[in-house]
Amino acid sequence: MKENIGIVGAGICGLSAALALSRHGNEITIYERDLPPPPGNAEKAFFDWPRKGAAQFRHPHAFLGVMCNLLQKKYPSLIEKLWDAGARKISFEDMVPLELRDQYQQEPDDEEMWLLMCRRATMESVLRRHVEEIDNVNILSRHDIVGPTAVLDEKGVRLNGLEVRPNRGPVEVREHDIIVDASGRNSKFPIWFSDLGASISVEEEDAEIVYYTRHYKLNAGEDEPSRTGKDRSAGDLGYIKYGVFPGDNGHFAIILCLPNHETDLREAVKNPALFDKICRSIPGLYPWLEIGKSSPTTSSFGFGNIKAVWRHFVNKSTPVALNYFAIGDAAVRTNPLYGRGCSTGIVHAHLLEEVLHKISNPKERALAFDRVTEEELRPIYQASLQEDRLGKKRASAIFQGKKIDEQRGIKQWLRASFGDALASASRENMHVFRGVMKSFNLMEKPGYFLKDNRIKRTILRYMLRGRKKNSSARYQRGPSRLEMISIVKDEGNKAA
């Protein structure tokens, strides 16, 4: 059954929904508040595209194995266009640490564990131009959504269209059989539903962090440093997390993530010179910013209000609204630090495709989509939430001058001992590392690899050798919190 579908938002999630839903002959209209990408290459898209509607547009993104394989299998021509734009493929073998290279022997699943490396602007501009070529998809830029049109009866709320303001002009009504909400974390649909008397229950927990980004480009003749040496280019010092995100065409970005209570350091990272000073004091980041290696292409800029959010659109087996489906951040949001958002958003869009293709009854569609969202995304959401809570606990302990992971009671000790053993084993045992990377790439449910008996036995052996030997694997080398504060204050005094 061919349907007329309106998609709100032409970001990566909305464009992916159009890709998926257009395959069945549906007529697709995407409404986007911002301007289209400027003509030209990836550089023009990154530096000249005013994407005010996408708060994370210029922050780095991770494109994980689950997403890469889905796109490769369903849309191989899209992947070719990304290669042409400068995107790169990082294979599983490329990710293997130096200390595990001697153990590495290729296994069949390894080919599916790969990352696509490019800036979001590159991904989104290429994806958009690819979608624009689809005959039954129409993308309307500078079109603001004022609200939904709906029928209210004894069955509840049933959407049948959108109120649209093109080019800041008069409001028009556009009829649609289905509304897909890909408008992101600031979706207005929950407010509009409330005005219609339909309530959405929300799970929400603050990660209590902010992260800052700065972009760079390798200087002419310079190669990327190794990302698999002793000092990793992504890590956790307890009071600060950091990471390098290699991009396309010689570009890369560095993020520094800080707890909200680290006021001195949060103020420092706003200053580009101090941002670089902090990075150069961390062994894993220094090779990327050593003198002559690279040059900055942006200032440092931040992103806050980071929360884990789950919006429920079914209450007690009753959909909040029929013919409405929220995907990506409009429905489920996790800490962007873990780089799962784009991948889960694209997966979510294709789960919706399956539901709409197989089921025609509006209520059954809503219930089925709610079920499959719970089945596929809830484990990822819970894993992210657990990581947030552990991060807050560790950062708070350091801030208060306490020992990290100080344990009270046997359960807490066992939990910490297991975490240390897993971290250490994943750096020294190829089989454990492969399992961890399957989880990281969302090729299976988070933590599923721990059901492997061989991995269980390995981790037990590591636990028996003691926490003292294992604990160092969880953290990277770098200045202590007080040392880092001293570094930025000394630099600030010199500048003054």
Q: Which of 16-30, 62-76, 466-480 comes out lowest in average pLDDT? A: 466-480
| Torsions phi, psi for 139 (to 5 deg) | -105, 120
Q: Taking a C-beta distance cutoff of 8 angstroms, is the pair 209, 306 a contact?
A: yes
Confidence of residue 375 (pLDDT cuts 50, 70, 90): very high
Q: Could you give the 3-state DSSP secondary structure of residue 114? A: coil
Q: Copy the structure tokens of residue 491.
A: 């630099």
pLDDT at 327 over 70: yes
Residue among 304, 302, 331, 301 nearest 206 (CA): 304
Q: Copy the structure tokens of residue 455.
A: 């991995």
Q: How far is it, in rounded angstroms, from Cα 146 to Cα 163?
A: 5
Mean pLDDT over 112-122 rounds to 95
Please state, for a pLDDT cut of 90, what percent of the chain lies above it: 81
Amino acid residing at 153? D
Residue among 442, 436, 205, 247 nearest 344 (CA): 442
Looking at residue 471, its pLDDT comes to 72
pLDDT, tens only, 163-209: 999 999 999 999 999 999 999 999 999 999 999 999 899 999 999 99
Instruction: Tell me how far CA of residue 431 lies from CA of 405, 445, 459, in angstroms.
Output: 27, 17, 11
Looking at residue 225, its pLDDT comes to 92
- The per-residue pLDDT of the chain, averaged, comes to 93
Q: Which of 81-95, 111-125, 468-482 comes out lowest in average pLDDT? A: 468-482
Amino acid residing at 390? L
The pairing of strands 156-166 and 172-175 is antiparallel
The pairing of strands 234-236 and 241-246 is antiparallel
Looking at residue 408, its pLDDT comes to 64
Q: Which of 156-160, 245-249, 297-301, 475-479 comes out lowest in average pLDDT? A: 475-479
Q: Copy the structure tokens of residue 201.
A: 């229950």
Looking at residue 406, its pLDDT comes to 60
Looking at residue 259, its pLDDT comes to 97
Asked if the 207-305 domain carries CATH number 2.60.40, the reply is: no
pLDDT at 9 over 70: yes
Looking at residue 473, its pLDDT comes to 66
Burial class (CB within 10 angstroms; exposed 0-12, middle 13-18, buried 19+) of 281: middle
Give 410 or 253, the one with higher predicted confidence. Answer: 253
Query: What pTM was computed for the model?
Result: 0.94
Q: Taking a C-beta distance cutoff of 8 angstroms, is the pair 46, 119 a contact?
A: yes
| Torsions phi, psi for 350 (to 5 deg) | -80, -25
pLDDT, tens only, 196-255: 999 899 999 999 999 999 999 999 999 999 877 778 899 999 899 999 999 999 999 999
Looking at residue 54, its pLDDT comes to 87
Q: How far is it, in rounded angstroms, from Cα 383 to Cα 444?
A: 13
Q: How far is it, in rounded angstroms, from Cα 414 to Cα 463?
A: 9
Tokens 């975490």 belong to which residue?
Answer: 419
pLDDT at 100 over 60: yes
Confidence of residue 362 (pLDDT cuts 50, 70, 90): very high
Q: How far is CA 37 from the centre of its chain?
A: 22
Amino acid residing at 27? E
Looking at residue 414, its pLDDT comes to 77
Torsion of CA 472, 475, 481, 484, to 10 degrees: 110
pLDDT at 496 over 60: no
Q: Where are the domains of the chain?
A: 207-305
How many residues are recorded in the chain?
496
The DSSP string of 36-74 is PPPSS-HHHHHHH---TT-TTTTS---B-HHHHHHHHHH
Q: How far is it, in rounded angstroms, from Cα 319 to Cα 315?
A: 6
Confidence of residue 404 (pLDDT cuts 50, 70, 90): low
Looking at residue 302, its pLDDT comes to 95
